[in-house]
Amino acid sequence: METVCDRIEITLPFKADYVSLARLVASGICSRIGFDIDTIEDIKVAISEVCSKIVSVGSKTAAGYTIVYDVAESALNVKYFCDDPSIKCIFNSERDGLAIHIITALMDRVELCNESNYIVSMSKTLEVGK
């Protein structure tokens, strides 16, 4: 990924009511980068899938989860974090197959289960000529 120009962080409670806020922030950032409307909608759908899964899992120890939008000149990287160490590898290939397929189809790079301190990482790069 390109060098990060800006970083935006939001912390949301484990409530479905706030998923739209994560989508709205992404929409504004993506518009600024120069993504077209269809790509912005794709990114918003991918963000919704991840947020909805995090909300459905919830936490007994953390009040919420954090989304970090790393903005580069022509790319967006989105990472999800939670202080609850039990919320790590939340996507199950059998149970969440459709959601996984949607996220991986809409984003350029997706990491669902990793050894890092984040839950999910995904990125989208602006296509040249768009």
Residue 13: give its domain's CATH number: 3.30.565.10
Q: Is 28 among the domain residues?
A: yes
Number of domain units in the chain: 1
Structure tokens at 107: 């984003």
Q: Is 130 among the domain residues?
A: no
- Distance (Å, whole) CA 41 – CA 79: 18
Collect contacts of 79-83 with beta carbons under 8 A, ≥24 apart: 79/118, 79/119, 79/120, 79/121, 80/50, 80/51, 80/54, 80/118, 80/119, 80/120, 80/121, 81/117, 81/118, 81/119, 82/54, 82/119
User: pLDDT tens digits for the chain (130 residues)?
Assistant: 567 789 999 999 999 999 999 999 999 999 999 999 999 999 999 999 999 999 999 999 999 999 999 999 899 999 999 999 888 889 887 888 899 999 999 999 999 988 788 999 999 999 865 4
Full-model pTM: 0.91
- In which domain, by residue range, is 92 found? 6-125
Q: Is 110 among the domain residues?
A: yes
Q: Is 1 among the domain residues?
A: no
